[in-house]
């Protein structure tokens, strides 16, 4: 059954056991789970990546059906869900499991997706799409946040914060948390303060770090790493940018199988590649092949899980990962 994300604030969803949340707005998905859905759902939470389940489905099912004296109810959250897991979900739904709720989280699912179709049509399941926020929406979030904390910022400075978040609500929320801590000891905040606080230093954004790493520009990658004081929150943002750049590179390399003119492939790519990124991409296609990139995408997905499970050492994990890939394609 399809519902809008804002309906989760009003509807009683306590009778539902299966939820599909899909779309690129990861920040809003997480916010909806924490603020709206969890009040209806079991407290004992278990997180899986789809690949973990597909590699060992029997172990997954055993965890669901096994009950202990201390934990009868369970909330299962499955990241990166796709059509591959549909058969397992159908099987679980048929068995009408008690005391267990399952949330599947996915990137953008096409209309032809069987998983999406299953959740949209079944009246006993919930399907919610999460579209990207506009700058206007993000600006409104910032204004409300600042108002609650009695922090005064000009619209110009609010626009800087929104721009640095790059359309990601999760990144925006992380930056607002930093701003809140910083503002406790300051009466006024200016644009220089904001630039120091948000993400990376002004001269080097996360995308530039990733582009240099994939192009194996070792000196520049090391320079950017040394010049910037990462936070744990930055690590999640960087690894997602890394993953997006890998997917772009994979598509370009795939397209070059039928057209070996790299300039034309780059020119035809959509969304358009920014002019200052084109030289990076040309160098990257000479270094990486389709198999290398496919394997690295899997490793990057696993790293994101590790970062979330080990936030206190996320900077160490991310830095090592980037340096390994910068120095050696086959690592």
Q: Look at residue 106 in the predicted model and tell me its pLDDT.
A: 95
CA dihedral 106, 274, 286, 318 (to 10 degrees): -50
268: its two tokens: 């035809």
Cα 303 from Cα 321, distance rounded (Å): 8
Cα 136 from Cα 7, distance rounded (Å): 21
How far apart, in Å, are the Cα atoms of 104 and each of 59, 107, 130, 173, 288? 18, 10, 13, 22, 32
Higher pLDDT among residues 174 and 135, named by residue: 135
User: Which one of 2.60.40, 1.10.8, 2.50.20, 1.20.1640 gives the CATH number of domain 138-197?
Assistant: 1.10.8
Structure confidence at residue 64 as a pLDDT band (50, 70, 90): confident
Q: Give the chain's mean pLDDT.
A: 85
Query: The domain 5-129: what is its CATH number?
Result: 3.40.50.300
Q: Look at residue 202 in the predicted model and tell me its pLDDT.
A: 38
Q: What are the residue ranges of CATH 1.20.272.10 in the chain?
A: 206-327
Q: What are the residue ranges of CATH 3.40.50.300 in the chain?
A: 5-129
Cα 156 from Cα 122, distance rounded (Å): 47
Residue 281 has pLDDT above 70, yes or no: yes
Check: pTM over 0.75? Answer yes or no: no
Q: Look at residue 227 in the predicted model and tell me its pLDDT.
A: 73
**Neighbouring C-beta atoms of residue 210, cutoff 10 Å:** 24
Q: Look at residue 126 in the predicted model and tell me its pLDDT.
A: 97
Cα 47 from Cα 30, distance rounded (Å): 13
SS3 230: coil
Q: Look at residue 198 in the predicted model and tell me its pLDDT.
A: 60
Handedness of CA 214, 215, 219, 220 (dihedral sign): negative
Which range scores top for mean pLDDT: 22-36, 265-279, 285-299? 285-299
Residue 86 has pLDDT above 70, yes or no: yes
Cα 133 from Cα 316, distance rounded (Å): 31
Mean of pLDDT values over 222-250: 83
Q: What are the residue ranges of CATH 1.10.8 in the chain?
A: 138-197
Does the domain at 206-327 match CATH 1.20.272.10? Answer given as yes
Give the pairing type, strands 74-79 and 45-49.
parallel
């Amino acid at each position: 059954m399809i519902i809008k994300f804002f309906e989760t604030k009003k509807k009683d969803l306590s009778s539902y056991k299966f939820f599909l949340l899909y779309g690129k707005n990861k920040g809003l998905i997480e916010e909806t789970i924490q603020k709206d859905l969890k009040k209806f759902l079991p407290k004992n939470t278990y997180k899986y990546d789809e690949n973990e389940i597909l590699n060992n489905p029997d172990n997954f099912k055993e965890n669901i059906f096994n009950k202990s004296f201390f934990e009868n109810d369970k909330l299962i959250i499955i990241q990166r869900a796709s059509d591959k897991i549909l058969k397992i979900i159908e099987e679980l739904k048929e068995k009408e499991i008690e005391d267990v709720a399952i949330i599947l989280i996915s990137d953008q699912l096409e209309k032809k997706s069987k998983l999406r179709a299953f959740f949209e049509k079944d009246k006993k399941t919930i399907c919610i799409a999460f579209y990207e926020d506009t700058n206007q929406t993000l600006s409104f979030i910032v204004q409300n946040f600042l108002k609650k904390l009695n922090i005064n910022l000009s619209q110009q400075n609010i626009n800087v914060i929104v721009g640095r978040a790059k359309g990601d609500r999760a990144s925006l929320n992380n930056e607002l948390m930093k701003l809140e801590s910083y503002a406790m000891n300051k009466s006024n905040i200016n644009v220089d303060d904001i630039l120091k606080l948000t993400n990376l230093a002004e001269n080097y954004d996360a995308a530039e770090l990733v582009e240099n790493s994939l192009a194996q520009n070792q000196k520049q990658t090391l320079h950017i790493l040394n010049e910037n004081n990462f936070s744990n929150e930055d690590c999640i943002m960087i690894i997602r940018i890394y993953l997006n750049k890998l997917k772009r590179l994979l598509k370009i390399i795939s397209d070059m199988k039928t057209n070996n003119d790299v300039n034309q492939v780059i020119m035809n790519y959509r969304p358009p590649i920014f002019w200052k990124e084109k030289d990076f991409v040309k160098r990257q296609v000479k270094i990486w092949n389709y198999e290398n990139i496919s394997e690295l995408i899997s490793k990057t997905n696993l790293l994101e899980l590790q970062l979330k499970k080990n936030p206190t050492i996320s900077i160490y994990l991310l830095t090592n990962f980037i340096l390994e890939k910068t120095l050696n394609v086959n690592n």
